[in-house]
Amino acid sequence: MRIIPAIDIIEGKCVRLSKGDYSTKKIYNKNPLEVAKAFEASGITYLHLVDLDGAKSKHIVNHKVLESICNNTNLKVDFGGGLKSDDDLRIAFECGANQITGGSIAANDPSIFNKWIEKYGNQKIILGADCNNRKIATHGWLEQSALDVIDFIKAYEKRSIQYVICTDIAKDGMLAGTSNKLYKEIISQTHVKLIASGGVSSIGDLVLLKALGCEGAIIGKAIYEGHITLKQLQKLC
């Protein structure tokens, strides 16, 4: 299972939220590149980079942070947040993103998202399936749709999507364990490569996610709050 630390960006700074609530913003480092380099020095290969300003603004905002990390580390970065147009995608890939994640666009404009899958291939495009009470949430989790998360994933699996990041918003940033029941259901009903996100609080959570069959696990606040150390991740990697 791939270990994928997360860096969330607001105004160029490394932050974390709780349950996606922007009012709970906590700044952990004003220099995201410094954080990325620390991850790389610990043997980390992958990074999940989220443009929270972009998610709110509905277009890419913090692409300079992406570019800085990609130019100064060898991390394989998947980038998401506010990618709504062909131009947004072009900018993200030109700035060095290895993969991009589309969530709101996949829910609200499937024709564009399907075009991206066809153009770039299913190794470059990740489906963001973030949900609250099983319903897909969009626009930085500020809006909720009527789409069931399992049905949403199944529909895109038919369009050849392979990678899916699923966040149970109720778990995100709460350091209270992951949504294992939901992940087990997704894995049993689909053949996607599931990347679990939200709620990781310990190495034990990672062991459970691996046992479930998750392809990857995204870790955020657990690292920043010291629940999981970089030394522990170094041993895992």
Cβ-in-10-Å burial (0-12, 13-18, 19+) of 27 comes to exposed
- Which residue in this structure is represented by tokens 């942070």? 65
Query: Nearest Cα to 129, choosing from 105, 153, 111, 162?
Result: 153
Write down the catalytic residue from 8, 51, 78, 205: 8
The dihedral sign for the CA sequence 162, 223, 95, 24: positive
172 given a catalytic annotation: no
Tell me, what amino acid is at 220? G
Q: Name the pairing type of β-strands 193-197 and 163-168.
A: parallel
- Which residue in this structure is represented by tokens 């692409």? 63
Cα distance between residue 17 and residue 136, in whole Å: 18
Cα angle 81, 163, 125; round to 5: 50
Q: Name the pairing type of β-strands 46-51 and 2-10.
A: parallel
Q: What are phi and psi of 135, to 5 degrees?
A: -100, 135
* Cβ burial 100-119 (10 Å sphere, 16+ → b, else e): bbbbbbbbbeeebbbebbee
Cα distance between residue 13 and residue 231, in whole Å: 24
51 given a catalytic annotation: no
Write down the catalytic residue from 51, 53, 88, 130: 130
Q: Which residues are catalytic?
A: 8, 130
